[in-house]
Amino acid sequence: MARCGVCFRHCEIPEGKRGFCGARICEDGEIRAENYGKITSLALDPIEKKPLSRFHPGSMILSVGSYGCNLRCPFCQNHEISWSAAAMRLRERAEAVTPEELVRCAVRYKPRGNIGIAFTYNEPLVGWEFVRDTAALAHEEGLVNVLVSNGTAEPAVLEELAPFIDAMNIDLKGFTELYYADVLGGSLGMTKAFIARAAQLCHVELTTLVVPGENDSEDEMRALSAWVAGLTSADGTVIGEEIPLHVSRFFPRFRMTDRRATDPALVYRLADVARERLKYVYTGNC
């Protein structure tokens, strides 16, 4: 048995078993990423789909996903590869790719406007070693690296990745511990700490999915945007007002089909609330 150090769960994983995320396994008394190089999704996307609106706009980026996630969002749009039963079945047939092979693939897409690699779709931090190794090689080829994440990881993981990551979109899914713990199975405190440090290390944009009846009040959005606005650089300079926030519309899916899609008017109103403190606020899925 060994203890995993990636996120707040600190799973004690018995020999031959997997942790909560379904992607990390104990072998010979050590924890390793079982999903290392196991690719389930690959697509050349506009960078705005990550979403990143203020990082190389108009570019394309090769998006890659594996399997596994350390949250349990009931509305997950990528549940087929993240944490559902179907996702866990993918372990057996996911294609194994080395960092060198993935980087060569990204380079081949340069003539089509590709600027780099985005680690996305499932939660890339549960297999952060593959992200690190691939991103380091991508930099050697003049490519940029993007991380699309829930931000639920220990500071040590972020520091390992930081030299190789050029931009992140991080989900700030709400702004109450109750919502994070009871609905998402996560930790708001860990996510806030991850975002605060990431904003000192690279370009960061944030995404908040507005779920009716859960995180859709003006008061919560006002508190969230005020916290973001107060984020500082390593030397204490306030930089938060410049961090883009994407306010997105929820659609019923997966295990949350008991409510309607978010009213677009509410998304626009909450975006206006966020603009009281933040310069760059975008609406999505409307």
Model pLDDT, residue 219: 98
What are the φ and ψ backbone dihedral angles of 241, each rounded to 5 degrees? -65, -20
Distance CA 4, CA 9 (A): 8
Model pLDDT, residue 185: 96
Cis status of the peptide bond prior to 51, with omega within 30 of 0: yes
Model pLDDT, residue 113: 97
Residue of 169, 167, 234, 172 whose CA lies nearest to 203: 167
Model pLDDT, residue 87: 63
Model pLDDT, residue 85: 75
Is domain 37-284 in CATH 3.50.50.60, yes or no?
Answer: no
* Successive 10-residue mean pLDDT values, the chain, 286 residues: 97 97 96 96 97 98 96 93 75 87 98 98 97 98 98 98 98 98 97 98 98 98 98 97 98 94 98 98 96
Every domain of the chain and the residues it spans: 37-284
Distance CA 71, CA 195 (A): 17
The kind and range of the H/E element at 161 are helix 155-161
Model pLDDT, residue 82: 84
Cα dist from 175 to 31, 59, 61, 67, whole Å = 32, 31, 30, 27
Rg (C-alpha) for the chain, rounded Å, is 18
